[in-house]
Amino acid sequence: MNIFDFAHAFFGDSANWQGYDGIPQRFLEHLQYSLLALAVAAAIGLPVGLLTGHTGRGGNALAFIANAARALPSFGLLVLVVLLIGFGLLPVMIPLVVLAVPPILVTTYEAVRTVDPSPVDAARGMGMPESRILFQVEVPVALPLILSGLRSAAIQIVSTATIAAYVSLGGLGRYIIDGLYQRDYEKVVGGATLVAFLALVTLVLFWAAGRFTVSPGVRRR
């Protein structure tokens, strides 16, 4: 049997589409974990990145911390957190957020910092307040890069959220972990396929977000 047969068998089995272990349920759970983690990571990474990028200060320290965080293995961190605080949603969120903050923060910082200084100078010289300079002059131009940071964070979260299943939570990781444990390769392939599918959907969504939010003057077409 090859991988396509596994996938075909998994998705063809109507039992896999129903109930608490059904595909819609697991997909939804996975989506929930991912969105929550992305929202928390963005809530940390975006403001810090925007502020440091605008002022140009603290960038080196940030890059150092972010790279250190990147070096942490998510699974190891999960085990550590579970040992410290026990099971639940929080120990899953911590490694996902730690994983997602660096790409968001570092790209946002770089995106804002590298905006052409002359429109910023012009804006300041015409009496624009700093907050307005950031949100109306720098961010619109930095947006494509900021979105790309969010996108790589989102993709990493989607693929890594499978670890939630290790600590008895749901999500698409259930299929992979249970499948490996039960030697049910249909399940493993099915779960992996669904994760890959969600990652692709994420890519498409970010592409669409870019189309709608980035000015044609910045996209240059």
Instruction: Find the shortest distance in angstroms from Cβ 37 to other proteins.
Output: 30
Cβ at position 127, least distance to other proteins in Å: 3
User: In angstroms, what CA-CA distances link 53 with 111, 138, 146?
Assistant: 7, 10, 11
User: Which of 42, 141, 157, 195 is close enough to bind other proteins by CB under 8 A?
Assistant: 141
For the bound state, the minimum distance from the C-beta of residue 53 to other proteins, rounded and expressed in Å, comes to: 17
CA distance 210 to 145: 10
Window 108-137: residues binding other proteins (CB under 8 A): 116, 118-129, 132, 136-137
d(CA 140, CA 134): 9
How far is the C-alpha of 198 from the C-alpha of 209, rounded, in Å?
Answer: 16
Residue (14 or 125) nearer to other proteins, CB: 125
Following DSSP, what letter does each residue of 67-103 receive, concatenated? Answer: HHHHTS-HHHHHHHHHHHH-SSSHHHHHHHHHHHHHH
Q: With binding defined as CB under 8 A, does residue 210 bind other proteins?
A: no
Q: Which stretch binds other proteins (CB under 8 A): 60-68, 95-103, 162-170, 208-216?
A: 208-216
Q: Which residues bind other proteins (CB under 8 A)?
A: 116, 118-129, 132, 136-137, 140-141, 214-218, 220
